[in-house]
Amino acid sequence: MRVVQYIITVVIILCLNFFLPRLMPGDPISTILNEAGADSGLMLTEEARAELLAHYGLDLPLDQQLLQYVEQLLHGDLGWSIRYRAPVADLLASRVLWTVGLVMSATLIAALLGTLLGVTTATHHGRWQDSTTISCVMALGSWPSFVVGVLLILVFAVWLGWLPIGGGSTSGAYYETDFQAAGDIIKHGLLPCLSLIIVSLPGFFMVARTAALRALQGEYIQVARAKGLAERRIVWRHIFPNALLPVVTALAMRLGYALTGAMAVEVVFQYPGMGTLIYEAAHARDYALLQGTFLLIMLTVLTFNLLAEMLYHRLDPRLRRS
């Protein structure tokens, strides 16, 4: 049943993916040529344009284009990006790691930090520290991610001059060792990563806090307390694992959105990831690239949703028993 549902969803996604770009006005050729800008210097006659359309198979009837599309997909061929003059699969491959690295690091750190904070505040439930921490975490996390990015650039790149203003690595640098290379990349990733951590912290924090609160009211905690176990031990042995469970599920769901999650932040930092690619593809109306990108994104989300579901079933003892 579940499988059928996922298959239907995939089919819908494929259809949307194919038809949507083609139902919209304009074609990629004219977009390339007329892109707003002061430097084009390019003129094309009607015949040359028709020739270009034919060259990219865009003049075929829609059903043939669809057939071609499905056939290419089955061969693992995502098509040719007209704007970037490169195979879509290559473009995606060159970008995916950047984004995944960035979002993974940020999400894992945020999840960990959120859980720690959540559990800590839950044990101080009702005291002023609790309300204050909640308000602070929320206040910090409620800023739009792109504005957080701008502010971080101002502080760390402009005023303090500690970190680079953007990009993925130093252009034209030579590295003596791999560690140097990694260091350079991490240095460039710090600010975007920090922006993402700040905005995704509250989600994990609240989930962990609620779970910890619930666990605190559980009978076994009362028993543990009655047995005279140290409060520290109770917290880390009993509450923390309980708080971690929903966080892990939330983490899996969140990672599904890894490819688009950092879009605005990537644009702010000119980070060489998927976000900037989508942004540019959308503006240039590059059919093949948009299709490829969204196929990848949708499938990732679906896979991670499925994963989250399975993970939840495995981790939750109540569900496992039944």
Partner 1 sequence: MKEHTWPSRIALAVLVIIVLFSLVGPLFLPWAPDELDTPLLGPTSDHPLGTDDVGADVLVTLMTSARLSLLIAGASSILGTSLGTLLGVISGYWRGMGMVIMRLVDIFMALPRLPLIIMLSAFVQPGVGTLVVFFVLFGWPQTARLVRSMTLSEREAGYIESARVVGARDSRILFRHLLPQVVPLATTRFVLEFQHVMIAESSLSFLGLSDPSVATWGRMIHYAFECPSLYISDVWWRWLLPPAAAIMLVALSLSLLNMQVERRFQPWLQR
Partner 2 sequence: MRRVGLVLLLVSTLLLAGCSATATPISEPAPTETTTSGNAEVLATATSDSEEQQTAEPVILYYPGSDWGYPSPFGAYLRGPGYTQMSFLFDTLVWRNETEEIGLIATKWSSSEDGLEWTFVIRPDVSFHDGEALTIEDVVFSYTFIAEHSTEFGWSVDLANIASVEAVSEDTVKFVLTNPSPDFDVVTAGVVPIIPEHVWSAVDNPEEYREDDALIGSGPYTLESYSAEEGSYVYVANESYFWGSPVVDRLIFTPVQDSALALETGTVDAASFSGKEVSAVNELLQDTDRSVIEGMDYWVLQIVFNTQSGVFADLAARQTAAISVDRQSLVDQVAPDGAVVANTGIIAPNCGWYAESENVPEYDPDAAAAAVQELGLDDQEVLLITTSTYAREAELIKADLETAGFAVTLQTGDTATVDTLLSEGSFDLAINGHGGNARTTTLRVPDWPAGIYESAAYDELYAKQASELDAELRAQYVAELQQMVTDDLPVLTLYHPRMWCIYDATVFDGWFFTEDGYSMGIPMVLNKMIFIEQE
> Segment 149-168, which members bind partner 1 (CB under 8 A)?
150-151, 153-154, 158
Least distance in Å: CB of 202 to partner 1?
A: 7
Of residues 58-97, those binding partner 2 (CB under 8 A) = 83-87, 91, 94-95, 97
Residue 89 partner contact from partner 1, partner 2, none using kind-dependent CB cut-offs of 5 to 8 Å: none
User: What H or E segment, with its residue span, contains residue 191?
Assistant: helix 178-216
Q: Is 211 in the site for partner 1 (CB under 8 A)?
A: no
DSSP 8-state assignment for residue 60: S
Q: Is 23 in the site for partner 2 (CB under 8 A)?
A: no
| Both tokens assigned to 155 | 């502080």
Give the count of beta carbons closer than 10 Å to the beta carbon of residue 13: 17
Return d(Cα 279, Cα 257) in angstroms, integer. Answer: 16
Please give the radius of gyration of the chain, using alpha carbons only, rounded to the nearest integer: 25
C-alpha dist (Å) from residue 67 to 7, 46, 57, 224: 19, 27, 12, 65
**Among 10, 13, 14, 33, contact with partner 2 (rule: CB under 8 A):** 33
Binding residue count for partner 2, defined by CB under 8 A: 81
Q: Binding string to partner 2 for residues 201 to 240, with x set by CB under 8 A, is what?
A: -----------------------------------x----
Burial of 315 (0-12, 13-18, 19+ CB in 10 A): middle
**Residue with smaller CB distance to partner 1, 185 or 203:** 203
Q: Which residues pair with 80 in a beta bridge?
A: 87
Q: Binding string to partner 1 for residues 4 to 43, with x set by CB under 8 A, is what?
A: -xx-xx--xx--x---xx--x-------------------
Residues 6 or more apart whose Cβ sits within 8 Å of residue 204: 110, 111, 113, 114, 115, 118, 247, 250, 251
Least distance in Å: CB of 175 to partner 1?
A: 29
Burial of 65 (0-12, 13-18, 19+ CB in 10 A): middle
**Residue with smaller CB distance to partner 2, 104 or 138:** 104
Q: Is 22 in the site for partner 2 (CB under 8 A)?
A: no
Return d(Cα 234, Cα 249) in angstroms, integer. Answer: 23
**Among 113, 163, 302, 311, contact with partner 1 (rule: CB under 8 A):** 302
Residues 6 or more apart whose Cβ sits within 8 Å of residue 211: 118, 242, 243, 245, 246, 247
Q: Is 167 in the site for partner 2 (CB under 8 A)?
A: yes
Q: Is 292 in the site for partner 2 (CB under 8 A)?
A: no
Q: Is 291 in the site for partner 2 (CB under 8 A)?
A: no
Return d(Cα 260, Cα 186) in angstroms, integer. Answer: 20
Q: Give the interface with partner 1 as residue ranges (CB under 8 A).
A: 5-6, 8-9, 12-13, 16, 20-21, 24, 125-126, 128, 130-131, 134-135, 138-139, 142-147, 150-151, 153-154, 158, 202, 256-257, 259-260, 263-264, 267-268, 278-279, 282-283, 285, 290, 294, 297-298, 301-302, 305
